[in-house]
Structure 1
């Protein structure tokens, strides 16, 4: 039985890849609708739903490939792997998009953020905003690691819930 058990890493790679590709398709759709600068709540929810969907699908596939058996720990192992692979693909896409497809994306995003932030915080000076943006640019990769960690934690929670719902262990006789 142990020899035929599916590999959690392989499923994380496959479904993380599918999640990443789906995220890219969503991003392209936003771009085609001229909504690439939108960062509203609904867009964030859709992005997390894409990830959650592929985490659940990976766990279901694991259970099917494992003769209908699933331990919660197996679900929890798969979930963050899906998130990390998906996130890496998303970062690669973002770098391609912001440097090749839409080279002024970062400058336009910063300008939109500046207008919005200064309108919401009238006491903030443009110099203070620029200083904050400089710090954000200096710590870009640190922020990406934090976002990847948040993604992995979210996926782990989804994996835990899915594992608890779908768990079925071999009867110990």
Structure 2
């Protein structure tokens, strides 16, 4: 008689929705504080820590549901799945942000990114304007990049968590 093994997809979906929801709440909090265009490394670190915690919880709960067993392959699938689902939610939130909540967000973000180079004299005002214009024109290219980077981060988090939690089923 074969055991009813839990599905990695179910855990990826559930924890991806949780991570996506937490990310949207964090994004709304930043928006309400007018910090949504900030380029602070601290905000990126907070996002990665949230992803790490939720990915760990998802993989650990899968392991518990799987009788205490976990393969590295399962951990990688769950990590990538969580990242994919949360990335899709984050992209949808970003589209809503840029299209409805703050249409000037891309311009503000480019000012924050390019401003220091302009102030240091690394680029001229003309170069600043040209780079800003081109970046805003191709803003949509950031969405596939978000998706790919999130999946890579999810794979890394899944790998680390899998290496920590893996436990093979006995051969008998």
| TM-score normalized by the length of structure 2 | 0.89
Deviation at 1:54, TM superposition (A): 1.4
**What residue in structure 2 maps to residue 156 of structure 1?**
155
- The DSSP-based 3-state class of the residue aligned with 1:171 is coil
**What residue in structure 2 maps to residue 86 of structure 1?**
86
**What residue in structure 2 maps to residue 64 of structure 1?**
64
- Stretches of structure 1 that go unaligned for 5 or more consecutive residues are none
Deviation at 1:153, TM superposition (A): 1.4
Measured against aligned partners, the alpha-carbon deviations of 1:46-76 in whole angstroms (never above 9, x if no partner) come to 0111111111111011111111111111001
* Divergent runs of 4+, >6 A: none
Deviation at 1:2, TM superposition (A): 5.3
Distance in 2 separating the partners of 1:146 and 1:128: 24
Equivalent runs, 1:88-167 vs 2, <5 Å: 88-120=88-120, 122-167=121-166
Distance 1:168 1:113, change over 3 A: closer
- Stretches of structure 2 that go unaligned for 5 or more consecutive residues are none
Aligned positions, number: 172
Distance 1:113 1:165, change over 3 A: closer
Measured against aligned partners, the alpha-carbon deviations of 1:106-148 in whole angstroms (never above 9, x if no partner) come to 233333444333113x141222122223332344343332232
Distance in 2 separating the partners of 1:147 and 1:125: 29
Distance in 2 separating the partners of 1:23 and 1:143: 17
Tell me if the contact between 2:111 and 2:132 (Cα under 8 Å) persists in the aligned partners. no
Deviation at 1:30, TM superposition (A): 1.5
Q: Root-mean-square deviation (CA), in Å?
A: 1.9
The 10-residue stretch of structure 1 (102-111 or 63-72) with the greater mean CA deviation from structure 2:
102-111
- The DSSP-based 3-state class of the residue aligned with 1:161 is helix
